[in-house]
Chain A
Amino acid sequence: SQKIEQNSEALNIQEGKTATLTCNYTNYSPAYLQWYRQDPGRGPVFLLLIRENEKEKRKERLKVTFDTTLKQSLFHITASQPADSATYLCALAGSSASKIIFGSGTRLSIRP
């Protein structure tokens, strides 16, 4: 069955360092992968989308890589800040935004 895993439930890092979150999947050939941020008591907020034929995408301090051979995406936040503390979710989708599945999320804490 299709499976998506995020590397750890929680990640704690020092302010200013780069946070790296991992998303691995099996039994799926996604057309694209997305990363979302979710704060407690709120719905997820879209951050970045990367397609199957793209290797890397950047947006300000965020960078996403996508390796369809390894079936893995890495999500990086550079120069991390306490305000980046949240749960980060990865999501896969097939063509026409079908068969969407979310990972369980990684709770990131940035300490001052």
Chain B
Amino acid sequence: EAGVAQSPRYKIIEKRQSVAFWCNPISGHATLYWYQQILGQGPKLLIQFQNNGVVDDSQLPKDRFSAERLKGVDSTLKIQPAKLEDSAVYLCASSPGVAGGEGETQYFGPGTRLLVL
């Protein structure tokens, strides 16, 4: 079974530029998550999708971050314009989304490492 795929793996941009990250979840997984992980900290949930609807985006800085999940499969996360403090690893995760059992288990991708100069 293929895991969660993310691209690019690394990105270096200058502040005020825009950047986009792509995520392909495990086939059949209904729930998709985007996290921001700053060095030395745990992942912080940015947005959670159930199929192609948003479940939670309370911590997404909506003035500069946006995310979409078209057709309930792939997802993109965009930052426009980027700030220095956006330097972090952006992790995508997916889960079956079925309550009970191990349905809430999250499977993480390798992450995209963003450096904003």
- Please classify how large the interface on chain A is, using the bins under 10, 10 to 19, 20 to 34, 35 or more: 20 to 34
User: In the bound complex, how far is the Cα of B95 from the Cα of A43, in angstroms?
Assistant: 14
Given known A96-B99, A97-B104, contact A44–B56 (CB-CB < 8 A): no
User: In the bound complex, how far is the Cα of B107 from the Cα of A46, in angstroms?
Assistant: 7
Given known A98-B55, A100-B33, contact A105–B111 (CB-CB < 8 A): no
B61 interfacial by beta-carbon distance below 8 Å: no
Which B residues lie within 8 Å of A96 (CB)? 55, 99
Closest B residue by C-beta to A94: B56
A101 interfacial by beta-carbon distance below 8 Å: yes
User: In the bound complex, how far is the Cα of B93 from the Cα of A91, in angstroms?
Assistant: 14
**Of B11-19, B43-51, B72-80, which stretch is located at the interface?**
B43-51
Number of interface residues of B (CB under 8 A): 27
Q: When the two chains form the complex, which single residue of B42, B95, B110 contacts A104, counting CB atoms closer than 8 Å?
A: B42
User: In the bound complex, how far is the Cα of B38 from the Cα of A102, in angstroms?
Assistant: 12
Q: How far is the CB of A22 from chain B (nearest CB, A)?
A: 15
Q: Which of A66-112 contact B (CB under 8 A)?
A: 89, 91, 93, 95-105
> Are A97 and B93 closer than 8 Å at their CB atoms?
no
> Are A93 and B56 closer than 8 Å at their CB atoms?
no
B108 interfacial by beta-carbon distance below 8 Å: yes
> Are A32 and B104 closer than 8 Å at their CB atoms?
yes
User: In the bound complex, how far is the Cα of B109 from the Cα of A95, in angstroms?
Assistant: 24
User: In the bound complex, how far is the Cα of B31 from the Cα of A100, in angstroms?
Assistant: 13
B105 interfacial by beta-carbon distance below 8 Å: yes
Q: Which of B89-106 contact A (CB under 8 A)?
A: 91, 93, 95, 97, 99, 102, 104-106
Interface residues of B (CB under 8 A from A): 4, 31, 33, 35, 40-45, 48, 55-56, 91, 93, 95, 97, 99, 102, 104-111
The 9 closest A-B pairs by CB, nearest first: A43-B108, A102-B42, A97-B104, A104-B42, A46-B105, A102-B43, A44-B108, A104-B41, A100-B45
13 A-B pairs with C-beta separation under 8 A: A34-B104, A43-B91, A43-B109, A43-B110, A43-B111, A44-B106, A44-B108, A97-B31, A98-B48, A98-B55, A100-B56, A102-B43, A105-B42
